[in-house]
Structure 1
Amino acid sequence: MERLDPSTLASTILTAPGWVRVGITAPVQRIREQAAHELARAICETVHPAIADDRSQLPLPL
């Protein structure tokens, strides 16, 4: 497991959408939970970025 760099983590938090940073302190539990999930998603995306789709591949319907 790789160790998180505090400056990278801080940068990810600061560049998260504004509603996430405000929503984390909201008085409504549902909004806090949604904001926490979005912040966690942003952190995970920074740590393990998604592999970009190859545009030369044709999408196949399932």
Structure 2
Amino acid sequence: MDRIDETDLTEALLSAPEWARAGLTSPSAWMREDAARQLARTAALRMREARLVQNEQDELPL
């Protein structure tokens, strides 16, 4: 299993839409769930992109 880098995860969360970050503190349960889902979606996408770039770099011939 790949290890998740804290710096990459931090950058991914901070790149999420502002409404999603603010939505985590909403008094509304549905808004918190939507916000958390959006944050997770953004983080997963960024982490996948980072992994693809890493894999492409690993495959370059010397």
TM-score by length of 1: 0.73
Query: How many residue pairs were aligned?
Result: 50
Q: Equivalent residue for 2:26?
A: 26
- Map of 2:52 onto structure 1: none
**Moved >3 Å (runs of 4+):** none
Aligned to 1:7: 7
For residue 13 of structure 1, report the CA deviation from its aligned partner: 1.0
Bigger share in helix: 2
TM-score (normalizing by structure 2): 0.73
Aligned-CA RMSD value = 1.5
Q: State the distance in 1 between where 2:26 and 2:9 align.
A: 22
CA contact (8 A) 2:8 2:47 kept: no
Structure 2: stretches of 5+ with no match in the other structure: 50-62
Percent identity between the two aligned chains: 39
Partner of 2:47: 47
CA shift, 1:5, in A, is: 0.6
